[in-house]
Amino acid sequence: MNFDLRMDGKVAIVTGGAMGLGKGVAKGFASLGADVVIADINEKAGRETADAIAKEGGKASFYSLDVTDSGQFEQMVKDTTGKLKRIDVLVNNAGIATKADCIDMKVEDYRRIIDINLTGVWIGGRAVAPVMIEQKYGKIINMCSLFGFVALAGLSAYASSKGGVSQLTKTLALELVDHNINVNAVAPAYIETEMTNNARTDKARFEDILRRTPKNRLGTIEEVVGPVVFLASELSSFMVGETMLVDGGWTAW
């Protein structure tokens, strides 16, 4: 068993790597020696993150990508293998969240959430799989959510997308297991990122979150990066189609 978490010589793509959890994962991977491609729709923030990593001595570049566009995703995979020769890890992290009751939500807003959070993950796995099959090695890590397991009023689109990510993770894992490719997912509860700004500033909502979380606080970005690094390493080589909850105990009671 290789207990080394170092990622020297590994190439990793992180979608939605410009900000929040993706940025944390990109920084974490780079600090372990990986060559990281930050693939994000937000060009300004994405370039800033790549530059900040490079300033600290890490290897990182930015690629402008909308994960809902399969042509763009396939082109990124082609350009990355052209430049960096391989793709060892793909973290399908890009995602959005909107809170509104089903009857108040516009159909186009529902579709946008499913398109980015679920279809984008499907597109990503499909785009990178041929390269990983060819090299007989790969780790695909999908960003699910606590709300892939439990529900909360107002999250019909988001929870549906994340429930789908968990099932997609299992299915793709079975399709790729014979090629030495591990597909797994991480399912965080509320973490301190821009995405949870509204939940944190709404006093009643924030108190409800704390009441449901035995840890009595939100998680930090680093507390999600750890499980992602684990899934990108050989320590998780027997894990296939798993979605790991990182929820401060929310689902333990």
Ligand X SMILES: NC(=O)c1ccc[n+]([C@@H]2O[C@H](COP(=O)([O-])OP(=O)(O)OC[C@H]3O[C@@H](n4cnc5c(N)ncnc54)[C@H](O)[C@@H]3O)[C@@H](O)[C@H]2O)c1
Q: Which of residues 187-216 bind ligand X (CB under 6 A)?
A: 188, 190-191, 193-196
Binding mask 162-191 for ligand X (x = CB under 6 A): --------------------------x-xx
Closest CA to 11 of 85, 103, 75, 115: 85
Among residues 63, 110, 158, 190, the one annotated as catalytic is 158
Within residues 25-44, the interface with ligand X by CB under 6 A covers 40-42
- Closer by beta carbon to ligand X, 1 or else 252: 252
Interaction of residue 15 with ligand X, rule CB under 6 A: yes
Angstrom distance (rounded) from CA 123 to CA 73: 7
Token pair, residue 252, equals 């333990």
Could you say which of 77, 143, 172, 245 contacts ligand X (CB under 6 A)? 143
Q: Residue 246, SS3?
A: strand
CB–CB of 190/249 below 8 Å?
no
User: Considering the rule CB under 6 A, would residue 113 count as an interface residue with ligand X?
Assistant: no
Q: Is 158 a catalytic residue?
A: yes
What is the nearest approach in angstroms of ligand X to the Cβ of residue 66?
5
Q: Cα angle vertex 225, ends 220, 230, to 5°?
A: 140
| Longest Cα separation, the chain | 52
Q: Does 16 bind ligand X (CB under 6 A)?
A: yes
How many angstroms separate the CA atoms of 113 and 162, rounded? 10
Distance set, CA 208 to CA 137, 236, 245 (Å): 43, 34, 19
State in angstroms the smallest separation of the CB of 192 from ligand X. Answer: 8
**Minimum distance, C-beta of residue 56 to ligand X, in the bound complex (Å):** 19
Q: How far is CA 253 from the centre of its chain?
A: 26
Q: Considering the complex, what minimum distance in angstroms separates the CB of residue 63 from ligand X? A: 10
What is the H or E stretch that residue 92 is in?
strand 89-92
What is the closest distance, in whole angstroms, from the C-beta atom of residue 186 to ligand X in the complex? Answer: 8
Q: Which amino acids are annotated catalytic?
A: 158
Contact residues for ligand X (CB under 6 A)?
15-16, 18-22, 40-42, 45, 65-68, 93-97, 116-117, 143, 145, 188, 190-191, 193-196
